[in-house]
Amino acid sequence: MEVTLLESTPDPERLICQAARNDYMESFVGETDFDDVMASIDGDSLDERKETLIGHLLEHGHFGPFEHPHATFAVKGISRSCMAQITRHRHVSFDIQSMRYVSFDDVDPDDVRDGEMVVVPPSATDPDWVGRNQESGPVDDETAERREELFRETIGDAFESYQELLELGMPPEDARYVLPIGSKVNMVMSMNARMLMHVADMRAAADAQWEIREMTEEVLDIASEWCPITFQYYEQHMKNRKNRLAP
């Protein structure tokens, strides 16, 4: 998996502050110098004032101003299972690589078995891995070996069947039905900073599956650089909170 920032609102925290201050200013924010917009906020410098205001907004649950800055991420090589989970979030916009127009007819099934086209979960290769919904604990070496073998065989066989169906004239949009839910897909997703916090509430949480958690942690790392005051505050005071931003 790889997560890259494609585009984002420049100076997002200035925008958050302008939007928030608009609510309480007599003068028009569109015609007021940013130093004057922030003049009444505590702090010795503009950066300190931004920190004060953003901390205050987050602490008091005034989340509206965080809807103005947007970021667009390109995500490479997540499973269709992870894609189905993240696309449940209705305020995120998506573009998903098509299996109708991209056919995988020249892929070597042995490369598939090596994990090239399908995400191989840690539980397939690590005997000590214990997933949230796993009924048994860590397994012995023989069981672990068979588990990995069966997983790799099945995904390779599925791609072999898919390619044979293409050769037999089945259109890619129908032949893809035999491909595993772990098949890798690339996507582009855009969201605002408020939604990013909500996605993190739900998907960086301990009860989320490892893959979407990993993706969300990467998105959060990028967000901490893009919108540093907000996401440092989020990491320190809001992450893993019981009362999430939205239920």
Residues near ligand FAD (CB under 6 A): 88-91, 198, 202, 207-208, 246-247
| Strand 93-96 to 184-192 pairing | antiparallel
Nearer to ligand FAD, 91 or 241 (CB): 91
Rg (CA), the chain: 23
Provide the minimum distance between the beta carbon of 112 and ligand FAD in the complex, in angstroms, as a whole number: 28
Provide the minimum distance between the beta carbon of 79 and ligand FAD in the complex, in angstroms, as a whole number: 16
Nearer to ligand FAD, 60 or 88 (CB): 88
Please identify which residue in the block is written with the tokens 């840690």.
Answer: 122
139: its two tokens: 């397994």
- Spatial contact of 94 and 152, defined as CB atoms under 8 Å apart: no
Provide the minimum distance between the beta carbon of 42 and ligand FAD in the complex, in angstroms, as a whole number: 32
Nearer to ligand FAD, 88 or 242 (CB): 88
Provide the minimum distance between the beta carbon of 131 and ligand FAD in the complex, in angstroms, as a whole number: 13
3-state class percentages of the chain: helix first, strand second, coil last, to nearest 5: 50, 15, 35
**What are the residue numbers of the active site?**
203
Q: Which residues contact 9 (CB under 8 A, 6 or more apart)?
A: 15, 68, 69, 70, 71
Nearer to ligand FAD, 156 or 182 (CB): 182
Euclidean distance between CA atoms 237 and 197, whole angstroms: 12
140: its two tokens: 């012995």
SS3 203: helix
Provide the minimum distance between the beta carbon of 181 and ligand FAD in the complex, in angstroms, as a whole number: 14
Nearer to ligand FAD, 78 or 202 (CB): 202
Euclidean distance between CA atoms 23 and 12, whole angstroms: 18
SS3 196: helix
80: its two tokens: 């269709």
| Strand 184-192 to 2-8 pairing | unpaired
